[in-house]
Structure 1
């Protein structure tokens, strides 16, 4: 019954300090009211042993307990049942455009650029439970891996399946990747639309110019965050395919068109980042996560249940019992 009790007027518990004073007053008063009779002998008196005179202090105990219970009652014990309801007031639609060209297998990030990206992107997706997310992958051409959806299990599964393959035409078509992502978002009714475009190279193929794709993004009110992936200097990258189908690696100069990526971000109201290692890549996605916050409104409902009524009834019952005993069993002694 008293599980999870809290008291509205806790300061009134200071009144419990009155109880020791009441006890002292009772002791002092009892001594003054006790009459003494000195006689030389008890001969001629009939002595009887009765438990009633010894139990008369019970009346005071009942009154004292009743006072303590009343003080507890006026401290307003109550239980509170709190229920919450959240409402997403501003949803964000996000498309992640991921470069899957052969250079994404470079080992300057561990274990390689593509796997490092997939790990960080998965954590980013898990941290956006109220947003819709889609995936676009591109190399020399681009296609939609997953349309924007609120089902994070589908997005995470699709992200896990992304890998380099020879089906997509080779090269790096940044304009195609951005244009495909814009096409996925242009009809979105979300209040905020965002593209995260990641590449480790320069635009060297595709039918759409990146600047044209940027204009399309601006027209559709889409913000683009661009990420240049790769260390500064040389990186161990695929340079040929061996007879057994495995890649032959060699030291290759990292080439990223940073000016283009900066321009795309600036024109669309986004921001450009450079990820030179795994830790920096994690920090970039963490910063984007902070920059693009979904507004969530939380409503709390409080249901208070008062518990003082039982204590008042208990105190009244104790006082009633004291009066009953005082004017019945203890009538001749008090």
Structure 2
């Protein structure tokens, strides 16, 4: 009966303490009003009505009516809550992803690129209130997806990223500059680039320092991630006759100083991911660092439920009055 019911004036429930006092008073009064007559025999009395024994029903009806009135005074009501969220500080994010051949190295499982795509997809799903875009780069760079709120488009584009779509190489400056170009016209409160690479800058016609200066000019913070284990990694070293890669151990080379300089200059941070777990932790850390402010509005609608209790109390009192003046008239 009281499921999903709240009470506007619950303090009135203290009035239920009156009920045991009323019961004690009733029992005491009945004892005082009872008269005793001693006779030698009751054989001459043939009246066997049970109505006198049912007389306490009148008192019980009054107690029930009083209980219903107390519940009504507590104002039972149902509460309907609707919410509406408003993003007060949106963030535009571009994820710049290295797709050079070295991203097929198998120091992460199953390889660096596949591991990155899985972690990046989880990151995107955790940012429902932000606009996200994708830039891919190798020997050159291009925009895979402009910044958008449609996460299904971004996730689909992310799943389509493979090696071989661009000339091989690692153009960090091109990847960063293309990302800056996607964000420079943004009116978002915060603009972020997450640039991931597993190598050193060896391609492209834009120097990383130049791209970093552009990011600073447009107020774009850059988080950089160096991907790859320490030491050697099983990496593509040549092509087989059927066109597939031949794998061999190669020294992992990441220009960490360059990535640190870019991050520090733009107000971001540099991270190093050496396995699947650390890569996931890095994206979780960035997710915590860049929080979107969301203002939530709650609307409350109350529906009063005290009227049925008032009607119940009235019905009980009416029943008590009718019984008192009909069936129990001779005994009251």
Partner SS state of residue 290, structure 1:
helix
Deviation at 1:23, TM superposition (A): 2.1
Deviation at 1:272, TM superposition (A): 0.7
Q: Which residue of 2 aligns with 1:34?
A: 34
2:227 to 226, 229, 252: 229
Matches of 2:40 and 2:168, distance apart in 1: 126
Q: Which residue of 1 aligns with 2:244?
A: 246
Partner SS state of residue 291, structure 2:
coil
Unaligned ranges ≥5, structure 1: none
Deviation at 1:41, TM superposition (A): 4.5
Q: Which residue of 1 aligns with 2:24?
A: 24
| Deviation string, structure 1 residues 57-113 (Cα, Å, up to 9, x no partner) | 221111111122222222322211111111111111111110111111111111111
Deviation at 1:269, TM superposition (A): 1.0
Matches of 1:204 and 1:146, distance apart in 2: 25
Q: Does 1:109 align with 2:117?
A: no
Q: Bigger shift: 301-310 or 117-126? A: 301-310
Q: Which residue of 2 aligns with 1:276?
A: 274
| Deviation string, structure 1 residues 204-261 (Cα, Å, up to 9, x no partner) | 1101011111111111111111101111111111111111111111111111111111
Runs of 4 or more consecutive aligned structure 1 residues displaced over 6 Å after TM superposition: none
Q: Which residue of 1 aligns with 2:142?
A: 143
* Aligned length, in residue pairs: 332
Q: Which residue of 1 aligns with 2:4?
A: 4
Partner SS state of residue 288, structure 2:
helix
Q: Which residue of 1 aligns with 2:85?
A: 86
Q: Which residue of 2 aligns with 1:74?
A: 73
Matches of 2:41 and 2:149, distance apart in 1: 101
Q: Bigger shift: 296-305 or 323-332? A: 323-332
Matches of 2:192 and 2:138, distance apart in 1: 21
Q: Bigger shift: 207-216 or 1-10? A: 1-10
Matches of 1:327 and 1:250, distance apart in 2: 105
1:324 to 317, 322, 325: 322
Matches of 1:140 and 1:192, distance apart in 2: 29
Deviation at 1:15, TM superposition (A): 3.3
**Structure 1 residues 48 and 214 mapped into 2: Cα distance closer, same or farther (>3 Å)?**
same
Q: Bigger shift: 3-12 or 275-284? A: 3-12
Q: Which residue of 2 aligns with 1:293?
A: 291
Instruction: Give the structure-1-normalised TM-score.
Output: 0.94
Q: Does 1:307 align with 2:324?
A: no
Matches of 2:38 and 2:228, distance apart in 1: 109
Q: Which residue of 2 aligns with 1:190?
A: 188
Matches of 2:18 and 2:2, distance apart in 1: 25
Instruction: Give the structure-2-normalised TM-score.
Output: 0.95
Q: Please provide the CA RMSD for this pair.
A: 1.7
Deviation at 1:36, TM superposition (A): 1.9
2:216 to 195, 211, 218: 218
Q: Bigger shift: 305-314 or 242-251? A: 305-314
Unaligned ranges ≥5, structure 2: none
